[in-house]
Amino acid sequence: MKKALLITFLITICSQVNFAQGGVTVVTVKNNADAPIINKNIYGHFAEHLGRSIYGGFFVGDTSKIPNTKGVRNDIIKALKELKIPNLRWPGGCFADTYHWKDGIGPQPERPTIVNKWWGGTTEDNSFGTHDFLNMCELLGAEPYLSGNVGSGTVQELADWVQYTNFSGKSPMSDLRKKNGRKEPWKVKFWGIGNEAWGCGGNMTAEYYANEYRKYATFMSDWENTGGITRIASGSNSADYNWTEVLMKNIPINMLGGLGVHHYAVIDWGKKGDGVNFTEDGYFHTMQSALKMEELVTKHSAIMDKYDPEKKVAMIVDEWGAWYEVEQGTNPGFLYQQNTMRDAVLAGATLNIFNNHADRVRMANLAQCVNVLQAVILTDKAKMITTPTYHVMKLYSVHQDAKLLPISFQSPLYTFNGETLPAISASASKDKNGAVHISLVNVDAKNKNKIEIDVNDLGVKNFTGTIITSAKLQDYNSFDTPNKIVPTVFKGFENKKGKLEITIPPFSVVVLEGK
């Protein structure tokens, strides 16, 4: 086999070059002074008023026998702190554009109820509101990301919310906050101006939403946050590049802190497939949809570069993850699904894409945090477990705020029924202490892959490894077997004169650390 030319990871996604079975993928990792920092906010999460995400998930109330702090489960707080969760998006999602924040403040018994029209038609009592969420973020050490109501709200309502949460002086909203028991402002930095304005947020055209965004952004004033607040526009639905083009063209850069993108890994919206009982066909096509993220980020970035060559506007992938049919016997409006090795592979590969595009992607939010879609935590009354996706995100937390190390290679192919995908996904970084971390994913469902990494340029010699894998793709952590899939020591590599020779098993995620 002829020696393959080294190309950037961006191009490997589209590579059509096949490797002979038993071949070695040659990977080069380089120091580059001009490389960006991987923003820790790429590792953010999402908590919507949906199913058992908030009520019965995060929030059990302060009278619950489940150990809690002001109604928020202590075990969830502990698990998310260990995950180093950098930010949390709330209250939606579609729910955000029917949520009126003043309904969720003041004495709990006096708060009005609301019907969740989007997710199951359930009645909520608003016992979890602004104070509860922002105080929870303080417990987590996470930045709150508030999604404002544009669909059914008003400019005044959102402007008041900013003043309520952020203003320390005397004003109607800061006086109301103090009356409700919070003297100092929370100083919320990240603000979404609506959600999915092209769909559940109002079925708007891009041109109409751009004008609405400009109006709302104008009246969202904050004189106290260092650097001001970050206003985030409701971005495109997956490959709707026209949406990005219209917003970048029509919204002044100085009014736009971030532009969203939403993309879910879905086989078919009409028949999404089972979360556990799936075949290799279901696995392959879910990964095919997930790896489309590379193309989406690349093409949306190119459009943004036309109007913002200095990359002042962040790409915010504030909803991503796998979406399957709900678990049998559960409420179809609650979007509860299990989490297998397929999800671990999907998470690792997606995060590698975000890392490698750190110059533009500076925040992302996995959907969702607890009991919904690709959750990192599942609960059953007093029981709580962490999922394979949790373990991947915890393993990858070493990349948070580390300097990207450009990585180049040509991936072998994972072939199924005549279709192909890149089998190997990778990213690398160096942290402030000089430690190097290389994250590798083998997407191939059947074949191990051999990888050779030249690390001579990195100034580190001693490597250790951790792996997430299991006997079957369909394996998952249950409440009976909560530790079926956990990180373990990886020994499938050797360091020979500055070259790591690695054999990575099928459908596995590996992180190597060099010091």
Question: How would you classify the pairing of strands 143-148 and 87-90?
Answer: parallel
Q: Using alpha carbons only, give the angle 94, 99, 100 rounded to the nearest 5 degrees.
A: 160
Per the CB < 8 A criterion, the answer to whether 143 and 258 are in contact is: no
405 contact partners, CB below 8 Å, separation of at least 6: 29, 30, 31, 32, 35, 428, 429, 430, 436, 458
Number of DSSP helices (H) and strands (E) in the chain, helices first? 10, 27
Torsion of CA 331, 335, 339, 344, to 10 degrees: 180
Has 196 been annotated as catalytic?
yes
Is the Cβ–Cβ distance between 440 and 468 less than 8 Å?
no
CA–CA dist 377, 391 (Å, integer): 10
- Give yes or no: 184 in active site: no
User: Cα(394)–Cα(411) distance, rounded to whole angstroms?
Assistant: 25
Residue in 48, 124, 143, 196 annotated catalytic: 196
Question: In the structure encoding, which two tokens stand for residue 149, read together?
Answer: 């109501």
Question: H or E element: which one contains 439?
Answer: strand 436-442
144 prior amide bond cis, ω within 30 = no
Of 48, 124, 212, 319, which one is the catalytic site residue? 319
- C-alpha 106/C-alpha 94 separation (Å) is 24
Who contacts 423 (Cβ-Cβ below 8 Å, separation ≥6)? 411, 412, 413, 414, 442, 443, 444, 447, 449
Q: What SS3 class is residue 425?
A: strand
Q: What gap in Å lies between CA 326 and CA 338, rounded to an integer?
A: 8
- For 164: left if phi > 0, alpha if psi spans -120 to 50, otherwise beta; the answer is alpha
Q: Which residues are marked as active site?
A: 196, 319
